[in-house]
């Protein structure tokens, strides 16, 4: 029997092809998906962030100080991230659109705060940064690490500057005291000297702590998410819908017809049966997340609309694969899912993947499903472009399926009748 089974496989081209593809699926998945996140941390320098420098120079002692300009100069040399030096208005707009993953803003009085810090009038220099965790959870962690590194470098530089200034003042004070003792200055100058001497003293423990760590980071998150699960929900919702649609189109034969009809009627008879099921799949995911994990999107109604549009696009594309390739269509759809997992930007930002995935990114429906769901769940706003693009996928592949029914409708009927007579 084993010999007959092996012989049957090698004499059946479809079965042989299917076995070969299934055997290669893990390798295909590994190469495509793992390859997309092979070295994202090695490409952090590609992550775009905006730097807004509003600082104005000031005088400290006898020296001109411009901390904002010095920071910009150092960042241009450092290039740890893809720094864009721009205006406040452009930076804020870019953060909302996803063009930047962080905005670092140097305030107008940043340098002016240094003399106040030296005199003890203020305890820190505030440096603000904004990010959008709802846009990409992993990217927000990356930029937070980067801004902490900037803070540490600034602390080191400023503490050295401040201590040098303090010791310079003490040295000058001691010199003048000697001049007073030897009668080289007037009585009025001596009085002024005594006032300076009181200020020019070694810092106490409290002052020293502020001198060592003068920078205080002020974080603003324009799209906060409570946890990693919420951040990953847009991606996993899209994957779940794609997987469910593959199973659905495998169980329900899109080529099975007992009589010939016009292509539109054939298409409608299949799609109108499957569409409600795909919608229920989307609603089922939402309900289960709500009941089990307490998940609540920012805009529930719009989330349902996006799931509706996503289901239509996925059903249209997967049905096209099934009609064109028959039973092999399910395997093709699975391989295409691997490609979408890697190129939709669901985990790491697409700029941290290879050039190939960046090219594929705008051409797969999951890209728009994930982005639209991020808006309805965390970012806010109406993702009209994403929804319209998903509907365009539906129309394109629905139209191609219509052409297949028009061309191969008679073959589908003949194959169905042949099976029923066997």
Run of H or E residues at 233:
helix 228-251
State residue 65 phi and psi, 5-degree precision.
-120, 135
The confidence score (pLDDT) of residue 178 equals 73
Q: Which residues contact 11 (CB under 8 A, 6 or more apart)?
A: none
The confidence score (pLDDT) of residue 98 equals 93
CB 107 within 8 A of CB 54: yes
Is the full-model pTM beyond 0.75?
yes
The confidence score (pLDDT) of residue 375 equals 96
CB 322 within 8 A of CB 329: yes
CB 309 within 8 A of CB 239: no
The confidence score (pLDDT) of residue 192 equals 61
Residue listed under structure tokens 């639209």? 372
Task: Please state, in angstroms and rounded to a whole number, the distance separating the CA atoms of residues 260 and 240.
Answer: 34
Nearest residue to 123 (alpha-carbon basis) of 237, 211, 248: 211
Domains in the chain with CATH codes: 2-36+226-421 (no CATH), 40-221 (3.40.1710.10)
Q: Which residues of the chain have pLDDT under 70?
A: 1-15, 18, 61, 165, 169-170, 172-173, 176-177, 179-181, 183, 185-210, 421-422
Task: Please state, in angstroms and rounded to a whole number, the distance separating the CA atoms of residues 261 and 343.
Answer: 39
The confidence score (pLDDT) of residue 101 equals 96
Structure tokens at 184: 């080289």
Nearest residue to 158 (alpha-carbon basis) of 66, 241, 77, 80: 66
Q: Specify the length of the chain in residues.
A: 422
Burial of 380 (0-12, 13-18, 19+ CB in 10 A): middle
State residue 414 phi and psi, 5-degree precision.
-60, -45
Burial of 411 (0-12, 13-18, 19+ CB in 10 A): exposed
Run of H or E residues at 319:
helix 300-325
The confidence score (pLDDT) of residue 259 equals 84
Instruction: Give 123-182 pLDDT, tens digit per residue.
Output: 888 999 999 999 999 999 999 999 999 988 888 888 777 777 677 766 766 776 676 667
β-strand partners of 59: 64
Structure tokens at 260: 């010939």
The confidence score (pLDDT) of residue 3 equals 64
CB 65 within 8 A of CB 111: yes
Instruction: Give 366-379 pLDDT, tens digit per residue.
Output: 999 999 999 999 99
The confidence score (pLDDT) of residue 411 equals 87
């Amino acid at each position: 029997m084993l010999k007959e089974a092996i012989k049957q496989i090698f004499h059946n081209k479809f079965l042989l092809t299917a076995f070969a593809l299934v055997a290669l699926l893990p390798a295909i998945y590994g190469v495509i998906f793992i390859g997309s996140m092979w070295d994202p941390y090695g490409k952090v320098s590609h992550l775009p962030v905006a730097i807004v420098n509003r600082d104005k120079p000031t005088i400290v002692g006898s020296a001109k100080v411009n901390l904002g300009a010095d920071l910009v100069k150092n960042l241009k040399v450092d290039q740890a991230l893809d720094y864009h030096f721009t205006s406040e208005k452009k930076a804020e707009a870019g953060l909302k659109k996803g063009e930047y993953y962080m905005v670092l803003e140097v305030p107008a009085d940043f340098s002016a705060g240094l003399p106040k810090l030296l005199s003890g009038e203020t305890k820190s220099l505030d440096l603000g940064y904004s990010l959008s965790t709802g846009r990409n959870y992993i990217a927000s962690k990356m930029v937070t690490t980067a801004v902490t590194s900037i803070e540490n470098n600034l602390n080191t530089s400023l503490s050295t500057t401040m201590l040098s200034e303090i010791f310079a003042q003490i040295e000058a004070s001691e010199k003048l005291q000697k001049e007073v003792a030897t009668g080289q200055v007037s009585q009025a100058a001596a009085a002024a000297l005594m006032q300076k001497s009181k200020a020019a003293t070694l810092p106490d423990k409290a002052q020293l702590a502020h001198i060592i760590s003068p920078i205080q980071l002020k974080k603003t998150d324009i799209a906060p998410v409570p946890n990693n699960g919420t951040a990953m929900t847009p991606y996993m919702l899209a994957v779940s819908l794609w997987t469910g649609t593959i199973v659905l189109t495998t169980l329900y034969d899109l080529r099975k017809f007992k009589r010939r009809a016009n292509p539109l009627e054939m298409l409608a008879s299949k799609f109108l049966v499957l569409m409600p099921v795909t919608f229920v799949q989307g609603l089922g995911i939402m309900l289960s997340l709500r009941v089990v994990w307490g998940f609540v999107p920012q805009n529930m109604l719009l989330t349902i609309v996006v799931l509706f549009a996503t289901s239509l696009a996925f059903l249209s594309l997967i049905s096209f694969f099934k009609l064109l390739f028959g039973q092999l269509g399910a395997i093709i759809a699975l391989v295409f899912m691997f490609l979408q997992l890697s190129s939709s930007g669901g985990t790491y930002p697409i700029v941290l993947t290879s050039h190939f995935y960046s090219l594929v990114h705008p051409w797969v429906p999951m890209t728009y499903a994930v982005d639209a769901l991020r808006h309805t769940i965390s970012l806010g706003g109406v993702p009209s472009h994403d929804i319209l693009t998903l509907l365009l996928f539906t129309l394109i592949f629905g139209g191609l399926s219509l052409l297949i029914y028009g061309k191969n409708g008679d073959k589908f009927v003949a194959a169905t009748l042949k099976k029923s007579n066997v």
